[in-house]
Homo-oligomer: A and B are copies of this chain.
Amino acid sequence: MVLKDISVDCVIFGFNNDKLNVLLWQGEIEPLKQLLNPEKENEQIKEIFEINPAHKSDRLWGLVGLHLQADEDLDGYAKKILQITTGIDNVYLTQVKTFGDTNRVPGLRVLTVAYYALINPDYHDLKLSPLAKAIKWYDIEDLPDVIFDHKEIIQNSLKKLRQEVQYHPVGFHLLPEKFTLTQLQRLYEIILDKKLDTRNFRKKIQNMKLLVDTNEKQTNVAHRAAKLYSFDIDIYNQLKEEGLNFRI
């Protein structure tokens, strides 16, 4: 049974081409109806789809999200949403906050619990699920018009990511398994929206002991090949628990 007054939305962040991107989608009505209410169509479910511009317009995009089901744990359902709408699995996912103004969705009283996910697009090929009419990465600096209060949800998630990245080692989830220090620096520069000094950045990162030299290098680049690093999962877990100071 679908809970008509609670939905779960995921802000999926990806880092690519030195840009921070968000994944947006347009849902496909018929399969969604079946997913959410296999037996019968009641008035409220009809309402969800008929009022909701996300399901009518080809022009508007929205966050990946669905109404919560009665028999699903909240955190588990956020994971499941990622899975069934994009094929993405096994990623860093964390609750942002719950949005619950009465007028956030016109004509329908529905709260949404927002999550953000951090993924590395190189490692997660999106498969277009039957639920999705369309799915697309948008640069965070250049978002299209979105439905409801999704703009606000994205801004809040970005703000939270910015906070998080300063005190916990989460940014790494946006990078490929092996990465260069320059990639890492760009990532921080973009999330924090601030130029960083390369020498100081490197010293700071190396002092954390979090990075492991893979003894590999870039290949086929038209300049000196950079060393590739990965991160140490034990030290990652320790830093995640203790916190770290990355106020730069």
The residues of B that contact A72 with a CB separation of less than 8 Å are 102
| Distance to closest chain B CB from A86 (angstroms) | 22
Total count of chain A residues near the partner, CB < 8 A: 26
The residues of B that contact A95 with a CB separation of less than 8 Å are 97-98
Interface residues of A in 92-137 (CB under 8 A from B): 95, 97-102, 109, 111, 113
Q: Whole-angstrom distance between the alpha carbons of A167 and B167 in the complex?
A: 9
State the oligomeric state as a number of copies: 2
Q: Do A113 and B98 touch (CB < 8 A)?
A: yes
Q: List 14 A-B contacts (CB under 8 A).
A: A3-B109, A5-B5, A5-B70, A68-B111, A70-B102, A70-B109, A73-B100, A74-B99, A74-B101, A95-B98, A97-B97, A163-B243, A243-B247, A245-B247
The residues of B that contact A166 with a CB separation of less than 8 Å are 243
Q: A5-B3, A247-B243 are in contact. Are A75 and B100 (CB under 8 A)?
A: yes
Q: Whole-angstrom distance between the alpha carbons of A100 and B167 in the complex?
A: 26
Interface residue? A71 (CB, 8 A): yes
The residues of B that contact A167 with a CB separation of less than 8 Å are 163, 167
| Distance to closest chain B CB from A105 (angstroms) | 13
Contact mask A148-176 → B, CB, 8 Å, 1/0? Answer: 00000000000000010011000000000
Q: Whole-angstrom distance between the alpha carbons of A75 and B102 in the complex?
A: 10
Interface residue? A146 (CB, 8 A): no
| Distance to closest chain B CB from A8 (angstroms) | 9
Interface residue? A48 (CB, 8 A): no
| Distance to closest chain B CB from A65 (angstroms) | 14
Q: Whole-angstrom distance between the alpha carbons of A73 and B166 in the complex?
A: 31
Contact mask A220-248 → B, CB, 8 Å, 1/0? Answer: 00000000000000000000000101010
Interface residue? A6 (CB, 8 A): yes
Q: Do A6 and B70 touch (CB < 8 A)?
A: no
Q: Do A111 and B247 touch (CB < 8 A)?
A: no
